Amino acid sequence: MRKALCVAAALLVATFAAPPAQAASPVYGDFSMMFQRSAGQFAPPGEKAYQWAWSPQSATESRISWGDPVAWPPSYAEHFVRDGDWVLLDGWDDNGTYYTERVTSESICQSGSCTPLPPHGGRQHYVRWTVPPSDYQLSAEGTVTERGSGRSFRFKHVQTWHAPAPCGSAKFGTRTCITQSESWSSDQNLPAGSPIRETLRRDIRIAQGLGMAFTIDQQVESPWHAEATEYWNW
């Protein structure tokens, strides 16, 4: 009888025991390191290195600078804001001027279905904070305005964010990366009334636990390949 009671008690405990803990979904910050003072360099094989560095401004805002490590800090830096499950692009600094980017239409496509994205103060939905287990595409159109002069130009930015997958490089071996495949088009510096034209198309792999520019493969305007050479915190 005692043995039967013990067995019954064990079954009861097993029935109501807490389920095993589920691993937390990775987030964009695990790959980009955007809320750490992280930095790195990347270079085409045998050529000079370029550098990037995140500068967190608060718990929800961070700027990333890109440029020549010999002439650091550079004039170029992008301004990102995290709001809930989105990282939004507000604009960028370049040559002492801030360029404010505001979208007029956006959509997200997943599993063959596309839906409009609701306005988010005009800022571009750049990437989801929680990394999904499958690919998704973001498309944004709008206007970039140069602060001070008020001059503006139209743009279209199309991005496919690929699910985490193995990646590798000669220096850092096999890692896990998310890949951003992007196309940027605009009518900047074109005659009035000109259609927008594609000026950039590339694939950027971002390595979990390391950061940006693990590898870059550019197709437009010209073919170009680079790999990360250094990562550090500052």
116 vs 85: CA distance, rounded Å: 16
What is each CA distance from 142 to 61, 109, 158, in whole angstroms?
22, 18, 12
Return the pLDDT at 8.
Answer: 44
What single string gives the DSSP state of each residue in 51-93? EEEEEE-SSSEEEEEEE-GGGPSPS-EEEEEEETTEEEEEEEE
Residue 138's pLDDT band, with cuts at 50, 70 and 90, is very high
pLDDT surpasses 70 at 10:
no
Q: Does residue 143 contact residue 151 with C-beta atoms inside 8 Å?
A: no
Strands 124-128, 136-146: parallel, antiparallel or unpaired by DSSP?
unpaired
pLDDT surpasses 60 at 12:
no
Average pLDDT over residues 81-92: 98
What is the helix (H) or strand (E) element at residue 180, kind and residue range?
strand 173-186
Average pLDDT, the chain: 92
Residue 24's pLDDT band, with cuts at 50, 70 and 90, is confident
Return the pLDDT at 20.
Answer: 56
pTM: 0.89
Residue with tokens 């971002």: 206
| Percentage of the chain modeled with pLDDT above 90 | 86
Q: Does residue 102 contact residue 123 with C-beta atoms inside 8 Å?
A: yes
